[in-house]
Amino acid sequence: MSRFRSIALAASVLVAAAVPATAPAQDFNARPNYGTVELRTGFTPDPRVVSLQSGGDLDASRIASNCSGFITSAPDVRLVYQAGSLPLIISVDSSADTTLIVNGPDGRWYCDDDGGVNGLNPAIRFNNPASGRYEIWVGTYGRATLQNARLNISEVSSR
């Protein structure tokens, strides 16, 4: 190996070592904690409700600065949705302060803290939803213990 190639190889190894690797803590393909829901536009009953416990040990702000709360690595619910002309509203109902993190079919992260009803409940509205997989995490704000919550999936209202 030439001296130039040796120096170039050593330099590239140093640069690679200096750049921190960021691996997402969320595992999209993990088995969802509370199952998979398959819906097509016009579904009944509306809302579709999944009872679960919010929270986890991972800080959601690692996903994006506008995400908050503590969540698990695996999604809580996987929604497989066939869209139509109606909006898709994903919300949480709980007596605890909960957060909502959704990874949409477009690969983007959508986060909310208190945008739903009753002040401490989150909601995310997709006015023109895409068909595909929605990975959903319900977090607990702060390092609180797991809290009882209801995930609502609707096309007509956020509960």
Cα–Cα separations (whole angstroms), residue 58 to 22, 45, 132:
15, 33, 25
pLDDT (0 to 100) of residue 144: 67
Please choose, from the candidates 70, 91, 88, the residue with its C-alpha nearest in 3D space to the C-alpha of residue 151.
Answer: 91
DSSP string, 42-79: T-SSSSEEEEEEE--SEEGGGT-TT--SEE-SS-SEEE
In a domain, 130, yes or no: yes
Which is more confident, 152 or 19? 152
In a domain, 11, yes or no: no
Domain housing 61: 27-154
DSSP string, 98-139: EEEEEE-TTS-EEEESS-STTTT--EEEESSPPSEEEEEEEE
Return the CATH number at 103: 2.60.120.380
pLDDT digits (tens, 9 = 90+) for 83-136: 999 999 999 999 999 999 999 999 999 999 988 777 779 999 999 999 999 999
In a domain, 12, yes or no: no
pTM of the model: 0.82
In a domain, 22, yes or no: no
The tally of domains found in the chain comes to 1
Contact 36, 20 (CB under 8 A): no
Q: Which of 32-41, 56-65, 88-97, 115-124 has the lowest mean pLDDT?
A: 115-124
pLDDT over 50 at 20, yes or no? no
In a domain, 5, yes or no: no
In a domain, 19, yes or no: no
| pLDDT (average), residues 19-36 | 73
